[in-house]
Amino acid sequence: PDHVSTMGYGKDRSGSLIYLHDTLEEVKKANGNRECLIPVHVDGDGHCLVHAVSRALVGRELFWHALRENLKQNFKQNLDRYKALFQDFIDAAEWEDIINECDPLFI
């Protein structure tokens, strides 16, 4: 897409190119030497994951709020499943904080 080459918006040209270089090269090789996965520039405001997902889906950071709300609801609705899946890494007492931090208005 054209917007990928826009400085400060598309392909991230900061440190991610250095620390992701080997991984990106492996992904490129696995895809017939085509660049199918690129690091994108997103705002570093604590919502960077949902900014990146929104950017990947529609080319803009429009849906970060809806993605955060959906993530929060998904955690609530499937909490037992997540607790079991991550029991070796996340203490059960931490889940309330994790869910609260998904709120787009969390401070």
- So what's the pLDDT on residue 40? 78
pLDDT digits (tens, 9 = 90+) for 56-67: 788 788 899 999
15 or 73: which leads in pLDDT? 73
Query: Could you tell me what percent of the chain has a pLDDT over 90?
Result: 50
Mean per-residue pLDDT over the chain, rounded: 87
pTM of the model: 0.67
Burial 24-54 (b: 16+ CB within 10 A, else e): beeeeeeeeeeeeebbbbbeeeebeebbbbb
Mean pLDDT of 44-63: 84
C-alpha closest to that of 21 among 37, 6, 41? 37
Whether residue 12 is predicted with pLDDT greater than 80 in this model: the reply is no
Cα-Cα-Cα-Cα dihedral of 84, 56, 17, 34, to 10°?
110
